[in-house]
Amino acid sequence: MCKALVAGNWKMHGTTGSAVSLASQLNQDWAQNNAAEMIIFPPFVHISAVRSVIGEGAISIGAQNISQYSDGAYTGEVSAEMLLDQGCKYVLVGHSERRAVMGESDQMVAKKFKVAQDSGLTPILCVGESLKQRQQGETVAVVSAQIDAVIELVGLSNVCRAVIAYEPVWAIGTGETASPQQAQQVHHAIRAQLGEAGRSTTLLYGGSVKASNAAELFAQPDINGGLVGGASLEADEFLNIAKLIEA
Ligand code: PEP
């Protein structure tokens, strides 16, 4: 069975104080017996402080990025081992902001996926098409090529052990959400691409998810939860979204 997840990507926002305050508000409300597992992705520099607030409880911590290298003279990079040492269980790879702004290629994303998974972290592989690609009818081809690049490096069964987040680029941070039907169509195509081995792979939807649109999205048969950016910075809104996920 697919694991139900709700993930909050805090991006490059906040201070130690605001991160700790947000984490403690979430921690007070979120219990282990909720249907979904909650994961928060603070900036690297706030992970340690956030972890001291949430401890080993109901909320898991992830990192927003990881180095493709395991150790050595790579100034400014953060390795898988460092993330594990900080208590991370998950890591985002291939977020569209990193692909577009930092120039991460499909191949680099695949290397990051491998290094994360080999170390014991669970990668959340983010995929999605631009507005132009959607308008040109290339959505499924783009998403499928992004997933294929990872399959080529690590094999299908390892991709199926991870989590995949479909995040249409035109819906991220824009207030524009894919309709439940548009999202389900792509999730269905991803599920078909993964075949039998992907029947229990967790597929998340991301892109301007809010409490007001989450229920319909999460009701789709191939959507197992959400990756939430902006709305995860407000405790009440994020908790309301999270509670709409059914196991
Ligand atoms: C994201 O950053 O992954 C995201 C989905 O952002 P937002 O919810 O703000 O669109």
Query: What spacing in Å lies between the alpha carbon of 72 and ligand 1's midpoint?
Result: 32
Ligand 1: residue of 5, 6, 10, 11 to mutate (most ligand atoms within 8 A of CB) is: 11
- The residue whose C-alpha atom lies closest to atom 2 belonging to ligand 1 is 229
Phi, psi of 228 (to 5 degrees): -115, 130
pLDDT value at residue 31: 78
| Rounded-to-integer distance, Cα 215 and Cα 240, Å | 10
Q: Whose CA is nearest to atom 3 of ligand 1?
A: 229
Instruction: Ligand 1 pocket test: pick from 204, 205, 227, 234 the residue with the most ligand atoms within 8 Å of its Cβ.
Output: 227
Radius of gyration of the chain (CA): 17
Ligand 1 centre to CA of 166 (Å) is 11
Q: Positive or negative CA dihedral for 188, 189, 191, 197?
A: positive
Cα 61 to middle of ligand 1, angstroms: 17
Residues with CB under 6 A from ligand 1: 9, 11, 167, 172-173, 206-209, 227-231
**Among 30, 3, 1, CA closest to 243:** 30
DSSP secondary structure letter of residue 220: S
Residue pair 105/145 in contact by the 8 Å Cβ criterion: no
Q: Are 91 and 42 in contact (CB under 8 A)?
A: no
Protein residue whose Cα sits closest to atom 1 of ligand 1: 229
Burial bucket for residue 48 (CB in 10 Å: 0-12, 13-18, 19+): middle
Residue with tokens 């401890």: 55
Q: Ligand 1 atom 7: the closest Cα is on which residue?
A: 229
- Catalytically annotated residues: 95, 167
Distance 227 CA to ligand 1 centre (A): 7
Taking CA atoms, 22 is separated from 84, 99, 225, in Å, by: 22, 28, 21
Number of the ligand 1 atom closest to the C-alpha atom of 209: 8
| pLDDT score recorded for residue 247 | 66
Mind listing the pLDDT tens digit for each residue in 175-224? Answer: 889 999 999 999 999 999 999 999 999 999 999 999 999 999 999 999 99
* Closest to 143 measured CA to CA, from 211, 77, 203: 203
The pLDDT profile of the chain, 247 residues, written as one tens digit per residue, is 899 999 999 999 999 999 999 999 999 999 777 889 999 999 999 999 999 999 988 999 999 999 999 999 999 999 999 999 999 999 999 999 999 999 999 999 999 999 999 999 999 999 999 999 999 999 999 999 999 999 999 999 999 999 999 999 999 989 889 999 999 999 999 999 999 999 999 999 999 999 999 999 999 999 999 999 999 999 999 999 999 997 6
For 206, the token pair is 């991301």
Q: Which domains does the chain have, with CATH numbers?
A: 5-246 (3.20.20.70)
Residue 175 DSSP code: S
Measure 170 CA to ligand 1 centroid, in angstroms: 10
The string of DSSP codes covering 80-140 is HHHHHHTT--EEEES-HHHHHHS---HHHHHHHHHHHHHHT-EEEEEE---HHHHHTT-HH
The SS3 of residue 225 is strand
